[in-house]
Amino acid sequence: MSGLLAGKRLLVTGIITDQSIAFSVAKLAQEQGATVVLTGFGRLSLVERIAKRLPDAAPVIELDVQNEEHLAGLADKVREHVDGLDGVVHSIGFAPQSCLGGGFMTAPWEDVATALHVSTYSYKSLASAVLPLMGPGGAFVGLTFDAQLAWPVYDWMGVAKAGLESASRYLALHLGGQGIRSNLVSAGPLRTMAAKSIPGFEQFEDEWVKRAPLGWDLGDQESAAKACLALLSDWFPATTGEIIHVDGGFHAVGA
């Protein structure tokens, strides 16, 4: 077996459709020699159908990151398919509609709390759940959308992503002694199901395409997925607490 991830055992969360970054990660990881286990939430039968579109059909474990029983049993369920993990991809995010599309000042705490629980705290809770399966050289990789700035319509999801970026740094701090890394990939806007659920998200897509120095393809999930694979591989052994931008260079230029 050969490939960038030859022999690696990965857990990939957050696949909803084959247009998601998580699906591209799973597909490319298998092509690069990894064994992949997936998690799904909600319409599990849909995730199982999507999993069959991978080069090798991957097992799907039900995981609601707000469900303590799911988290407590996750390691055992993963062990039914692999004997350990070398990497985990966190591709989980959700905010109620009140928290998006201009609702920053009016969203109630109950909805904001949901957004922060699912999109931010889940990074730590997922790590805690699977830590018994990981050893030195392991890696967590999460997906963010540049939280250095306040974006139109992104509202409380932007706050949640800022929290995720901080949580990744703290995970890097607390797991570094065990030889485990934590990094994020900050992708530019992509026309995924998650993006379509945000009212008005398209208003800065055109601007991104025009201003990114390398240009930007709104349908290119593979570029972000490739960055995830690199961070999961052995080629970044001394990199942790980092955010890799995959956005055509947009973050580096002014108006």
CB 221 within 8 A of CB 192: yes
pLDDT-based confidence at residue 165 (cuts at 50, 70, 90): very high
Kindly give, in sequence order, each residue whose CB lies less than 8 Å from that of residue 71, ignoring residues fewer than 6 positions away.
63, 65, 125, 126, 128, 129
pLDDT exceeds 90 at position 179: yes
Task: Between 45 and 230, name the one with better pLDDT.
Answer: 230
The whole-model pTM stands at: 0.94
Quick: pLDDT tens for 46-98. Answer: 999 999 999 999 999 999 999 999 999 999 999 999 999 999 999 999 999 99
Tokens at 108, concatenated: 């109630």
pLDDT of residue 175: 98
pLDDT exceeds 80 at position 196: no
